[in-house]
Amino acid sequence: MSKVGVPSGEPSEPKIKFKPSKVPLKDRVTLIKLRLKTVTMPVKKKALKAQLKACKKVIALRKALKNADPERKSVIKAKLVKATRVLRKASIRVK
């Protein structure tokens, strides 16, 4: 039982929760490109460009994973995990 103001052993929740997008990644790229055309704030534009780059990288790694040799798959999977994490962070920054 934790008291108010006393930190418990659980990690604190992030300010903005990440909700996975139900839109396929290829369609997401198109939506980001369209949104880039309408955005005027430089900070928002930079965040959208980072999200677009991360999204394209995840798509490329998934494609590479399908065609990879068995000994290369573990390396590509590790890169894919990192790229997915970067995409999540970029998606949160855009909001």
Nearest to 65 by CA among 81, 89, 85, 88: 81
Instruction: Specify if 61 maps to a domain.
Output: yes
Higher confidence at residue 94 or residue 85? 85
pLDDT of the residue at 59: 95
Range of the domain at 58: 25-94
Residue 39, helix vs strand vs coil: coil
Looking at residue 51, what DSSP letter applies? H
pLDDT of the residue at 78: 95
Q: Does residue 1 surpass a pLDDT of 90? A: no
Instruction: Specify if 87 maps to a domain.
Output: yes
Cα angle at 88 between 82 and 92, to 5 degrees? 145
Number of domains in the chain: 1
Instruction: Specify if 69 maps to a domain.
Output: yes
Distance (Å, whole) CA 13 – CA 87: 19
Instruction: Specify if 1 maps to a domain.
Output: no
Task: State which amino acid sits at residue 63.
Answer: K
